[in-house]
Structure 1
Amino acid sequence: MTDDIYYRSPDGLNLYAKRYGPADAPLSILCMHGLTRNHKDFEPMIAALPDRYQFIAVDVRGRGLSDRDPKAENYSPAIYAGDMATLLDHLNLKRVALIGTSMGGLMSMIMMKTMPDRICGVVLNDVGPVFEKSGLDRIAAYTSNTEPKAGWDDAARSVGEVQAEIFPDYGPQQWLAFARRTYRELDDGRVALDYDPAITRTVAQVRPGLLTRIAMWKLYKDMTKVPLLLIRGETSDILSAKTAAKMIRKHPDASLITVPRIGHAPILDEPEAVEGIRDFLTKVEART
């Protein structure tokens, strides 16, 4: 069962999310995507997990079916986290688990700071308090090219060229499916990336210096209030193995899953990720 969810942000934007599963489920999970993605990013994962749960997958402002923001400065994880509070109020959800990929993981950390009583567990997908500069540079490079493609085949080829090192075992079918999750069709038959190009300003603002790292580790400390599952792509250039190990050491109830032969970030339909998330949600459900 799926439902479209439309709601308004505090500053008047029309925002979108999609519900998968029963509204009266024993556990609700809020799924928050990465910088250039949208709610469809979680469909492979949701299809592989038990259908007894309610998954709410969002289009953060500026992506997918959500309004583009005329004020580019509002493309900020702190603003996005505020939108998530509005969504939870709209759905009358008192407590949820979070699954956050990359930027969505940053949103999760902010939400643990600002609304800890509403969260019962967090899955962080390939993100932590320290961002490797090489990964940020790679993301900044590929997000700068937003020219529409002639059609879906061209979009699939483009995605394959950009993401080949991240998903080395993907073939034509996987690249086409990837493209259909990240592009939208225009009236003239061309396809375009499904986000406002202005969102890329966020990448340029991330400066992984000493003060930023201190602030981020302080923010991460609030994550220790709930169970944590950390998922890392084996070849990730955003979350290093060293940072992931430190995150586990600093958390009293955390576990780490490494997805082999995948970079930043796993799609979460990989067998290792599916098994780990299923077990984690079972544990969180038992505690709620």
Structure 2
Amino acid sequence: MRSLQRLVPAADGTRIFAELFGEQAAGRVPLLCLPGLTRNGRDFEPVVERYAGSRPVLTIDFRGRGRSDNAADPLTYRPDVELADTLSVLDAFAIPQAAVLGTSRGGLVGMLMAVAAPDRLSGLCLNDIGPRIEAAGLLRIMGYVGFEMVFPNWDSGARAYGATAPGFAGVSEEAWQAAVRRAYIRREDGRITPYYDMKLSATLPRREDVIAGKTPELWTLLPALAGKPVTCLRGDASDLLSRETVNRLCTELPQAEGVEVRGRGHVPFLDEPECTAALDRWLARIDARPRQP
């Protein structure tokens, strides 16, 4: 599929890679896809394939991931900085408003966007993330982020990639291969490695704080989403997002829809039937709303 690719300079000069698929269609809100902590815009290939024929779909590699520059200062690997980078990308593509689909870390950025730039956010779909992050999942992620892993081939990389994601059932070898080829890269020496800056771990919380339950919760951000179409996807075996968190989110935001994805942990691939149906409903709600000037 043809696309428009750009490297957009952030405020500190870090170049942010973004790719725009599809064209503007009457009555269709652009879809902005924000990836997880160690992932990149290629993670949304199933979403691009499904929706770019009917609306613009913009994917972003956060700083230090994928085809974006590594940050000169690793302490800028923070959601607030990533939000500022995202707004710069939207400006560069002349997109005034977008429906945001955020996977994990990308969902946190989307929640911040609702507060800092509410006029740019038409609606938010959270992929296995919410205002509260469970310690078990966060500790698991902290156990591999920033540790360089090198594999001799894609097969071994796919096995290792799947091993870092418990709770998945019925996933074919081909599906794991597709997933790892989006998240990892083949180096010049032919070996396979994750596609992000290993210094990304610099801003992760301290292990002792996570164990002690001292990580912040983001419930105070939810009022900024009042009235906007919100969907929260949860893998039914997720160790990062609890069913209780989804239920509370839907109570505090009565317009929100919670959807569980069977046989998935953190995070669903977004090509599951539950995900595609939920995304269809969410986008239809957004498209039906009056467009802001």
TM-score range normalised by the length of the shorter chain: over 0.9
- The answer to whether 1:212 aligns with 2:208 is no
Cα distance in 2 for partners of 1:98, 1:37 equals 16
Which amino acid is 2:78 matched to? S
What residue in structure 1 maps to residue 70 of structure 2? 68
Question: Alignment partner for residue 36 of structure 1, among 26, 38, 41?
Answer: 38
Is residue 9–residue 15 contact of structure 2 (8 Å, CA) maintained in 1? yes
What residue in structure 2 maps to residue 236 of structure 1? 238
Cα distance change, pair 94–188 in 1 and its aligned pair in 2 (3 A): same
Is residue 136–residue 203 contact of structure 1 (8 Å, CA) maintained in 2? no
Residues 225-275 of structure 1: per-residue CA shift (max 9 Å, x gap): 411011111111111001100000000311111101111111111111001
Q: Secondary structure of 1:30's partner?
A: strand
Q: Any unmatched runs of 5+ in structure 1?
A: none
Deviates more, 1:15-24 or 1:55-64: 15-24
Deviates more, 1:74-83 or 1:49-58: 49-58
For the aligned residues, what is the CA RMSD?
A: 1.7
Q: Secondary structure of 1:166's partner?
A: coil
Q: TM-score, normalised by structure 2?
A: 0.92
Residues 78-113 of structure 1: per-residue CA shift (max 9 Å, x gap): 000000111111111111110001100100011111
Cα distance in 2 for partners of 1:202, 1:223 equals 26
Which amino acid is 1:56 matched to? L
Aligned residues: 285
Deviates more, 1:166-175 or 1:237-246: 166-175
Is residue 49–residue 278 contact of structure 1 (8 Å, CA) maintained in 2? no
Cα distance in 2 for partners of 1:65, 1:156 equals 21
Cα distance in 1 for partners of 2:125, 2:198 equals 28
Residues 182-216 of structure 1: per-residue CA shift (max 9 Å, x gap): 11111111121100011123333585646823xx1
What residue in structure 1 maps to residue 191 of structure 2? 190
What residue in structure 1 maps to residue 86 of structure 2? 84
Which amino acid is 1:46 matched to? V
Which amino acid is 1:167 matched to? F
Q: TM-score, normalised by structure 1?
A: 0.94
What residue in structure 2 maps to residue 7 of structure 1? 8
Cα distance in 1 for partners of 2:91, 2:82 equals 14
Is residue 21–residue 52 contact of structure 2 (8 Å, CA) maintained in 1? no
Q: Secondary structure of 2:80's partner?
A: helix
What residue in structure 1 maps to residue 151 of structure 2? 149
Cα distance in 1 for partners of 2:152, 2:67 equals 22
Deviates more, 1:42-51 or 1:200-209: 200-209
Is residue 234–residue 260 contact of structure 1 (8 Å, CA) maintained in 2? yes
- The answer to whether 1:124 aligns with 2:132 is no
Q: Any unmatched runs of 5+ in structure 2?
A: none
Which stretches of structure 1, 4 residues or more, deviate above 4 A after TM superposition?
205-208
What residue in structure 1 maps to residue 261 of structure 2? 259
